[in-house]
Amino acid sequence: MANTGKKNIRHLSLSELEHYFEEIGEKKFRTKQVYEWLWQKHAHSFDAMTNLSKELRVKLAEHFILPALKVDATQYSADGTVKSRFRSTDGHMVEGVLIPTDERKTACVSSQIGCSLSCKFCATGYMERKRNLDFDEIYDEVVLINQQSERVYSKKLTNIVFMGMGEPLLNYKNVLKAIEKITSPEGLGMSPRRITVSTAGVAKMIRQLGDDQVRFKLALSLHAANDQKRNEIMPINETNNLKALIDAMNHFYKATGNEITFEYILFKDFNDSLKDADELIKIYRQVPADLVNIIEYNPIDKAAFMKPEEGAVQAFMAYLEKHRVNARLRRSRGKDIDAACGQLANKEVQVG
C-alpha cells in the first residue's frame, strides 16, 4: 500500500471526525452518518456511503483512506468449519476460522500477521512475524466471519476467541481497541463475556489486563505443567515461567473476577502421562480457573509431535475427573482444511 499521506478515517475518534466536519463547514449530524457507515454498516469505500452527497464523498476520498481486509480464499470443512484467508491492503495474508456447533457460532481470529513466539508445535510459530494487525483489521475479521455465519448458517456469531495467528498480548493496544469496537453499541454490540483472549503467557500483560479492568475472559495456553518441559516447547516460558504466570493470573482474577481457562494440548509420550496430569492438577489448584480444555493435537509438517493413543487420552481425562478437575476434552474441528488448533499457516488453498 503506497503511503499517500492520507489518514485512515477509521483511526479517527468520534470527536476528531466531528472536528473535521466542523472545519469543512458540514453539519454535525454528518459525523454520526459517517461513523455508522464505518462501524455498523461496514462500508469499504466512500462511494458506498449513499446518504452523503457526491461532493462530500469526493472530499472524504481526497482527505482520507479506508483500507479494509478482504476475503482472499475460503475453504469449507466436512464438519462445517469455514476457514478464510484474508488479504490486507498492503498485501499480507492472515487467517480466521468460523467454528459452528448447534449452540454456538464462534469466530477464531488472528491478532498478528505471523508470530514471534516460535512455539514448537504450532504452524504459525514457524512463520516470521510481519506486523501487528491494526484494530480496524481485527474488527474486519470479525465482521467478515459474522457475514459468513449469517450466509452459511443463518445465525450471527455468538462467541469470539483470539486463538488464531499471533500473540494477542504482544499487540495489546490494538486487541483491546478492537474489542472495544466489537462490544460497543456503535459497533457490533457483542457482550465482552462472549470474548476470550488466549495467550501463550506474557505475565506482565496479563497483570495489565487486570489493571485495565477488562471484561472479557482469559485463556492460558499451558501445554506443559513444569518449567523444563514448557521451556522445551514454548521458548516464551524462559522469560515468563509458571510461577510468574500463576501470580499474574491471580492478580487478573482478583482485579476482574473474569473467567480463566487453561488450554492443554496432549502430545504422545511428552505430556500425556499420569505424572503430567498430577503436575497439571497442582497448577490448576493454584489459580481460580473455571476449566481445563484438553485439546487433541493436530500434527503439522514441521514438528515431530504425535497425537496420543485414545487409551492414554481417556486415562488422562479419568485421572483429572477423579481429582475433581473441571476438564473438557475438545475434539478439533476443521482438520481436513488445516483450520484446527495450531494449523494456521497461510498454506496454498483450494478456493471453495
Residues 141 and 80 in one domain: yes
Residues 100 and 200 in one domain: yes
Residues 58 and 78 in one domain: no
Residues 128 and 254 in one domain: yes
Residues 18 and 44 in one domain: yes
Residues 32 and 145 in one domain: no
The SS3 of residue 217 is strand
Is 78 part of any domain? yes
Domain boundary among 41, 65, 89: 65
The DSSP line for 241-260 is: -HHHHHHHHHHHHHHH---E
How many domains would you assign to the chain? Answer: 2
Is 346 part of any domain? no
Residues 112 and 190 in one domain: yes
The three cell numbers of residue 328 are: 473438557
Q: Which CATH number is 27's domain given?
A: 1.10.150.530
Is 285 part of any domain? yes
Residues 110 and 41 in one domain: no
Q: Which CATH number is 140's domain given?
A: 3.20.20.70
Domain boundary among 29, 47, 65: 65
Q: Which residue numbers are catalytic?
A: 95, 341
Distance in angstroms (rounded) separating the CA atoms of residues 243 and 107: 31
Residues 56 and 107 in one domain: no
Residues 140 and 276 in one domain: yes
Residues 61 and 80 in one domain: no
Q: What is the pLDDT along the chain (352 residues), one digit of tens a residue?
A: 445 689 999 999 999 999 999 999 999 899 999 999 999 999 989 999 999 999 999 999 999 999 999 999 999 988 899 999 999 999 999 999 999 999 999 999 999 998 888 888 887 767 778 899 999 999 999 999 999 999 999 999 999 999 999 999 999 999 999 999 999 999 999 999 999 999 999 999 999 999 999 999 999 999 999 999 999 999 999 999 999 999 999 999 999 999 999 999 999 999 999 999 999 999 999 999 999 999 988 877 777 889 999 999 999 999 999 999 999 998 766 666 555 554 445 444 433 3
- Asked if 246 and 203 touch (Cβ cutoff 8 Å), the reply is no
The SS3 of residue 278 is helix
Nearest one of 256, 159, 164 to 206, comparing CA atoms: 256
79 exposure class (CB count in 10 Å sphere: 0-12, 13-18, 19+): middle
The DSSP line for 133-201 is: PPHHHHHHHHHHHHHHHHHHHS----EEEE-SSS-GGGGHHHHHHHHHHHHSTTTT---GGGEEEEES-
Q: Residue 55: how many CB atoms within 10 A of its CB?
A: 8
Instruction: Give the CA count within 13 Å in the CB-facing half-sphere of 156.
Output: 6
Domain that holds residue 40: 12-65
Instruction: Give the pLDDT of residue 339.
Output: 53
Is 32 part of any domain? yes
* pLDDT tens figures, 114-132: 888 888 888 776 777 889 9
Instruction: Give the pLDDT of residue 348.
Output: 44
102 exposure class (CB count in 10 Å sphere: 0-12, 13-18, 19+): exposed
Is 351 part of any domain? no
- Asked if 258 and 216 touch (Cβ cutoff 8 Å), the reply is yes
Is 43 part of any domain? yes
Instruction: Give the pLDDT of residue 351.
Output: 35
Pairing type for strands 82-87 and 70-76 reads: antiparallel
Distance in angstroms (rounded) separating the CA atoms of residues 114 and 133: 10
Is 5 part of any domain? no
Residues 177 and 237 in one domain: yes
Report which secondary-structure segment, H or E, holds 234.
Answer: none
Is 176 part of any domain? yes
Domain boundary among 30, 46, 65: 65
12 φ, ψ to 5°? -85, 140
